[in-house]
Structure 1
Amino acid sequence: MKVALACDHGGFRLKEVIKSYLEELGVEYVDYGTYSEDSVDYPDFAYKAAKAIVEGEADRGIFICGTGIGISIAANKVKGIRAALCYNIYAAEMSRRHNNANVLCLGGRVLGEELAKAIVKVWLETPFDGGRHERRVNKISQIEENECGG
C-alpha cells in the first residue's frame, strides 16, 4: 500500500509524526506537502494528493490540517475521493468498514500524537465490509456522477 500525505501549516507537525509512524509500520508514502509551518492554503495540498490517489499514484491518503475539517471538505471535492474526518478509533474503523474511505483526515491541533497513531493504524488495517455497504457507496458514486459529470 502507498499512502499520499498532505497537510497545511496547522497539520505539519502531526504529519511529521505520522510519517515516522508509517516508516515504523513499513508503509510506503509520498509526501505532497506542505514542508514547513509557514502559512499555506490547505486546498492546494489536498487537491494535489487527492489527484494522485484517483490517478493511481497512491492507494489511500492521510490529510491533516488544524481541525481536519477544511482539508476534508477540499478533498471531497475531487471525484473519486471519499475523505473521512476521524477523531476517534471507532470512526476510523467504520469509515473503512462501511464507507470504504480512501482518505483519512485528521486535526493536527485537536488530536494527541498517540491517539492519531492509533487512528491511523486501525484505518490502515481495516478492510471494507462490502455487502449492503457497497450498495450505499455505489449510490454516493452515482450522486457524484450526476452532479459532477462523467
Structure 2
Amino acid sequence: MIRHALRRRVLGLAAAFATVLALLTVPAAPASAGECYQPYCGGVVYNANGNAPVDIANCWFNDLSWSYADYNLPKPCMENGWTTGNKNAAWWLNRGETSANYYYFYDVDAFRVRPGCILDMNTGFGTTRWDRRGLGPLWVRIGSSARYTVTYHQCF
C-alpha cells in the first residue's frame, strides 16, 4: 500500500514537471519593444562572464523556428542594422552588461553564438552550451519573459 502511494506521488510529480516544462518551451510571439516601457518587462540577456561580446536582437523574423544560422537575421528583423536606438535591430553586450540597459532592448528576442565560439547560457533551469567551433554563427530565439545569463563565452 505504501509502495503504491509512493509510486502514485512520484508519477504525479513527474506529470506536473512535464507540464511546466512543456509550457516553458512553447514559442512566444516576439514582443515589440514599443510595448515594453521599462527594464525587465521582456526577455533579458546578461553577459556575466563572457570573454567576448554577446550579440542580441530585439526582433525575430517568423513564429516557426527556434534558431537561424547566418550573420544577420532576415528582414523585417534587423532592417535597422546594429544600433541601440531602434526596434528591428541588433546589438552586442560586453562583459557585465545587460540588455535591460537599452530601451529598445528591454525585450530581447534572440542572441547569437558567434562562429568559432563556445557560449554557456543559464536559463534559470540549468545551463546550455552552444559550441560553434568550426561552424558558422547561430541565432537562438528566446521567450518573451526569459532571463538568460551568459556564464561562459570564449572565441577561438
Structure (1 or 2) with the larger CA radius of gyration: 2
Q: Specify the TM-score bucket, using the shorter chain as the normaliser.
A: under 0.3
Q: TM-score, normalised by structure 1?
A: 0.28
Q: Going by fraction, where is strand more abundant, 1 or 2?
A: 2
Q: TM-score, normalised by structure 2?
A: 0.27
Q: Going by fraction, where is helix more abundant, 1 or 2?
A: 1
Q: Which has the higher relative contact order, 1 or 2, with Cα contacts under 8 A spaced 6 or more apart? A: 2
